[in-house]
Amino acid sequence: MTILLAAAFDAEEAAQWQACLEAALPGERWVRHREGADDIDIAVVANPPPGSLDGLSGLRLIQSLWAGVDKLLRDPTVPAGVPLARMVDPAMNTAMAETALWAVLHLHRDHDLYTVQQRERSWRQHPQRRADEVHVAVLGLGEMGRTTALRLVGNGYRVSGWSRRGAEVPGVMVAQGPEGLRRVLGEADIVINLLPLTPDTQGLFNATMLAAMRPGASLVNLARGGHVVEADLLAALDAGHLRHAVLDVFREEPLAPDHPFWAHPRVTVRPHVAAATDPRSAAQVVARNILALREGRPLAHLVDRSAGY
Ligand code: NDP
């Protein structure tokens, strides 16, 4: 049996991934292209070029190297009947929680204002707030959201959360449903988005939802660019309703050089670096699932295609 590694990697990335995957699964045969391999039963994918998996009749598992599978689910050439597993790696959850904590500290301790002031050579001190005076809302309490919420609780913030089915997260007030979302948005000083991009969450941060945020609140989007209606966010920032936006993800990536976010004084741009997949730990996650398949054990981290995540 053969494993297809279908990924839009450059040569250096491909070599690093291949080395980690082969070391984690020494008994397996790997190919980068399907041509000439008629016994492919597993595809390990990262932004696979469209059509890469089309018609692979022996496929029994598609394992994504990325946590978000929204792009894969939008690709009609990805076989619908084959189990699809996404990347769930505690090392990534930790990295995401670190980025979220940085963003919260940045806003809580007024470093968004001091960054602008430095450019203007302005020496002005703002009143210092305690962490327990800052209310942070985490939308999405899955792998990344839960780890993030717990990290923020540990750092003394007041934390609330929102998820589809509700959740128990120690120290976090959890809400559900549209009313719960409005309540959470209306209370928080900082809203962190860690939802998956699905038909239900696409464009969630539109003019109506941004207006439901507390005046002077900030948005931290670490999930997917498609969650935000960019024109509506710019309008909310320009009107002074929102204080700041920390954005790691965008509708079009890379962000176009002439995009208004780059130079906006109330926007912090990061180039999709909140939590990169680390090939060293991720290869172990992939290996565990492939061994489970080979040994007939249940697969981990399967995507519910009807829910879209
Ligand atoms: P999970 O699937 O583990 O968690 C998703 C959470 O969102 C769950 O709590 C789920 O609720 C909740 N949710 C889903 N749909 C809804 C809805 N309609 N209403 C309310 N809550 C909903 O995702 P991850 O934590 O692994 O990933 C979170 C996001 O981070 C994804 O968008 C991913 O693409 C992004 N990401 C970004 C990276 C970056 O570098 N910027 C890196 C990696 C991931 P429930 O618990 O009830 O199912």
List pLDDT tens digits, range 183-195: 999 999 999 999 9
Catalytic residue, candidates 270, 272, 280, 288: 272
Which structural domain range is residue 15 located in? 2-89+277-295
User: Does one domain contain both 85 and 210?
Assistant: no
pLDDT one-digit tens code per residue, 4-28: 999 999 999 999 999 999 999 999 9
- Closest atom of ligand 1 relative to the 176 alpha carbon: 20
User: Does one domain contain both 260 and 152?
Assistant: yes
Is residue 300 a part of any domain in this protein? no
User: Does one domain contain both 78 and 166?
Assistant: no
Domain count, the chain: 2
pLDDT one-digit tens code per residue, 229-258: 999 999 999 999 999 999 999 999 999 999
pLDDT one-digit tens code per residue, 35-47: 989 999 999 999 9
User: Does one domain contain both 161 and 59?
Assistant: no
User: Does one domain contain both 260 and 169?
Assistant: yes
Q: What is the pLDDT of residue 233?
A: 99
| Cα 237 to middle of ligand 1, angstroms | 25
User: Does one domain contain both 198 and 105?
Assistant: yes
Q: What is the pLDDT of residue 279?
A: 97
Q: What is the pLDDT of residue 69?
A: 97
Q: Which of 164, 197, 272 to mutate to test the pocket of ligand 1 (most atoms within 8 A of CB)?
A: 164
Q: What is the pLDDT of residue 134?
A: 99
User: Does one domain contain both 84 and 104?
Assistant: no
Q: What is the pLDDT of residue 83?
A: 98
| Cα 67 to middle of ligand 1, angstroms | 9
pLDDT one-digit tens code per residue, 100-136: 999 999 999 999 999 999 999 999 999 999 999 999 9
Q: What is the pLDDT of residue 200?
A: 97
Active site residue 108: no
Is residue 215 a part of any domain in this protein? yes
The tokens of 164 are what? 């589809």
Cα–Cα–Cα angle for 267, 273, 278, nearest 5°?
A: 170
- Ligand 1 site: residues with CB under 6 angstroms? 67-68, 140-145, 162-165, 167, 194-198, 200-201, 222-224, 248-249, 272, 274-275, 309
Q: Which of 69, 185, 191, 195 to mutate to test the pocket of ligand 1 (most atoms within 8 A of CB)?
A: 195
Q: Which of 98, 102, 163 to mutate to test the pocket of ligand 1 (most atoms within 8 A of CB)?
A: 163
Q: What is the pLDDT of residue 224?
A: 98
pLDDT one-digit tens code per residue, 23-37: 999 999 999 999 989
Cα–Cα–Cα angle for 28, 49, 226, nearest 5°?
A: 115
Active site residue 272: yes
pTM > 0.85: yes or no: yes
Cα–Cα–Cα angle for 227, 159, 203, nearest 5°?
A: 10
Q: What is the pLDDT of residue 290?
A: 98
| Cα 90 to middle of ligand 1, angstroms | 14
User: Does one domain contain both 38 and 142?
Assistant: no
Whole-angstrom CA distances from 158 to 10, 24, 42, 78, 174 are: 43, 41, 44, 42, 12
C-alpha 209: how far from chain center: 20
- Mean per-residue pLDDT, 139-158: 98
Is residue 304 a part of any domain in this protein? no
- From atom 16 of ligand 1, which residue's Cα is the shortest distance away? 164
pLDDT band at 147 (very low <50, low <70, confident <90, very high): very high
Is residue 288 a part of any domain in this protein? yes
- Closest atom of ligand 1 relative to the 167 alpha carbon: 46
112 neighbors 89 (Cβ within 8 angstroms): no
Is residue 47 a part of any domain in this protein? yes
Mean pLDDT, the chain, rounded, equals 97
User: Does one domain contain both 76 and 123?
Assistant: no
Q: What is the pLDDT of residue 267?
A: 98
User: Does one domain contain both 15 and 49?
Assistant: yes
Q: What is the pLDDT of residue 5?
A: 97
3 closest CA partner among 91, 50, 75, 65: 65
Catalytic residue, candidates 86, 106, 224, 244: 224
Q: What is the pLDDT of residue 192?
A: 99
Q: What percent of the chain has pLDDT over 90?
A: 100
The tokens of 292 are what? 């489970």
User: Does one domain contain both 180 and 202?
Assistant: yes
pLDDT one-digit tens code per residue, 274-300: 999 999 999 999 999 999 999 999 999
Q: What is the pLDDT of residue 81?
A: 95
| Cα 98 to middle of ligand 1, angstroms | 17
